[in-house]
Structure 1
Amino acid sequence: MPQVRAERFIRLDPETAFALSQTTGAFRLKWDPFISAQAFLDGATAAGKGVRTRTVSRMGLKMVSEYVSYMPPRNVGMTMVSGPWFFETFGGGWRFTPDNGGTRAVWKYTFSCRPALLKPVAERIGSWVLGREIERRIEAFARACEDPALVAELRSQGESVPGT
């Protein structure tokens, strides 16, 4: 299965970087250029293993994902429950490690495409498209981590972030 990945050095502690990466709803719209809507499903009010989310991209693509791992502040993994017809499988994950007074953030997508006849070409195209998209998204995430007002707003919203 193809995999695309992007990483950045973030000048925040892993706890804060992790918390910002896992924002949803209106707060997520402040930094993530890919989505137009995102929300928890099934009455969930916070992320956690087994929690499902619905995401709508700015291009109108919809995906329901489920957290398959949730280990603050180190890593998180999600897998597609339902989504665009051309994805046979799709998963994404973040990893955060302390690095030189900040955090090394790595974001990965792993996917496979369908139908089988088009899979080789679709996966090459998908690697290119998703590679560009994940770079745009992690760059936006890194900029958000450098925005003192956004970080202060995040810290004012929850107890799981240092400094709140």
Structure 2
Amino acid sequence: MIGASPERVFSWLADPANLVAAPLILRARWASDSQEPGVGAIREAAAVGIWLREEITAYDPPRSYSYRIIRSIPVLNHEGGSLRFTPADGGTRVSWDTTYTHPLMSGGKVLEAVTSRVFPWNFRAVLDSCARELED
């Protein structure tokens, strides 16, 4: 729950620059060869131990947006991620889901055991930062 309107929460979370609120994200931005924001937009993020290039696959402000990692180092098989914004008493309920695996060549189940803990920790940090900045 974030104590701000869905419009404000969506806008804040859809801006890749705010992903640096995650403890491990060092830099995040719209790619230089991308339009912004909307379906087909490309964002890039550099983090401790990983680089990502993501494509926005659905964009429905202020209700939801989805993305898919299309390139990464190390390699990540990403089925997709989605953020949904639902009006609730006093603010917005945010749901953030992502589904991925690591192929054997980039660590497989061993790396998944690490990222299954690290990724949610970073997502929570981004949501907490959004709440701190936007809550009335």
- The equivalent of 1:24 in structure 2 is 16
Query: Which residue type is aligned with residue 120 of structure 2?
Result: G
Structure 2 length normalisation: TM-score? 0.83
- The equivalent of 1:37 in structure 2 is 27
In structure 1, list runs of 5 or more residues that go unmatched. 1-8, 149-164
Separation in structure 2 between the aligned mates of residue 115 and residue 97 of structure 1, nearest angstrom: 37
Query: Which residue type is aligned with residue 93 of structure 2?
Result: R
- The equivalent of 1:15 in structure 2 is 7
- The equivalent of 2:63 in structure 1 is 74
What's the CA shift string for 1:40-89, capped at 9, x where partnerless? Answer: 22242x210011111112x1521110001111001111101101224222
Shift of 1:34: 3.9
**Which stretch of structure 1 is more off in the superposition, 128-137 or 97-106?**
128-137
Q: What is the RMSD computed on CA atoms of the aligned residues?
A: 2.4
In structure 2, list runs of 5 or more residues that go unmatched. none
Separation in structure 2 between the aligned mates of residue 31 and residue 127 of structure 1, nearest angstrom: 19
Separation in structure 1 between the aligned mates of residue 110 and residue 119 of structure 2, nearest angstrom: 14
Against the structure 1 CA distance between its residues 11 and 123, is the aligned structure 2 distance closer, same or farther, given a 3 Å change threshold? same
Given that 2:23 and 2:122 are in contact with CA atoms closer than 8 Å, whether structure 1 keeps it comes out as: no
- The equivalent of 1:119 in structure 2 is 108
- The equivalent of 1:161 in structure 2 is none
Given that 1:33 and 1:140 are in contact with CA atoms closer than 8 Å, whether structure 2 keeps it comes out as: no
Separation in structure 1 between the aligned mates of residue 86 and residue 118 of structure 2, nearest angstrom: 27
Counterpart of 1:52 (choices 34, 42, 67) is 42
Query: Which residue type is aligned with residue 77 of structure 2?
Result: E
* 2:99 is the counterpart of 1:110: yes
Against the structure 1 CA distance between its residues 21 and 49, is the aligned structure 2 distance closer, same or farther, given a 3 Å change threshold? same
What's the CA shift string for 1:83-137, capped at 9, x where partnerless? Answer: 1224222632211001013110112221111117953333233212222222222
User: What is the number of residues matched between the two proteins?
Assistant: 135
Against the structure 1 CA distance between its residues 67 and 139, is the aligned structure 2 distance closer, same or farther, given a 3 Å change threshold? same
Given that 1:107 and 1:138 are in contact with CA atoms closer than 8 Å, whether structure 2 keeps it comes out as: no
